[in-house]
Amino acid sequence: MAKIVLDEKPRFVNTQARRNVYSLQRAQGYNKSKIQIFEQVLENELFDENGMRRITAENIFNVDETGVCVNQKPHTILAKKGKKSISVIQSAEKGKTITAVCCVSATEVNCPPLMIFPRKRFKAELLDRGPIGAIGAACYRQRLDK
């Protein structure tokens, strides 16, 4: 028969409960009345009283940000048989992420991506192997909204 010890801390943390609370809060944000209010405000901004467009499709943009991992796990390393030590050179900024901000208009006009690096000073060498036409910036703070 197994002995039950009550003094030990639980080994598994119940993260499912937190996910349910978050999705419940998100679901409460999307109700019919709030969506109708959003659509009304959007219509008032896009069209005037006569039904003419105030803002053209070329001036409507969708902006999104995502985090890109700085360090990837190294792939398989090949070495001569019998070699005693094998080394891998990896960036010192372990666990940091780069923020990529992408923007596209309603008429499919793309803006170059903005790559925001977590540092005080920006160096042009950071974009050497980046996307073509990318714009680089440095931001010491962790969040973009500050």
Ranges of each domain in the chain: 15-55, 57-72+93-146
pLDDT of 117 reads 87
Coil vs helix vs strand at 59: helix
Q: Calculate Rg over the CA atoms of the chain.
A: 25
pLDDT of 118 reads 84
CA angle, corner 84, sides to 82 and 85, nearest 5?
135
Summary mean pLDDT of the chain: 76
Q: How many CA atoms lie within 13 A of 29 on its CB side?
A: 6
Q: 116: closest CA among 88, 141, 80?
A: 141
pLDDT band at 129 (very low <50, low <70, confident <90, very high): confident
pLDDT of 51 reads 87
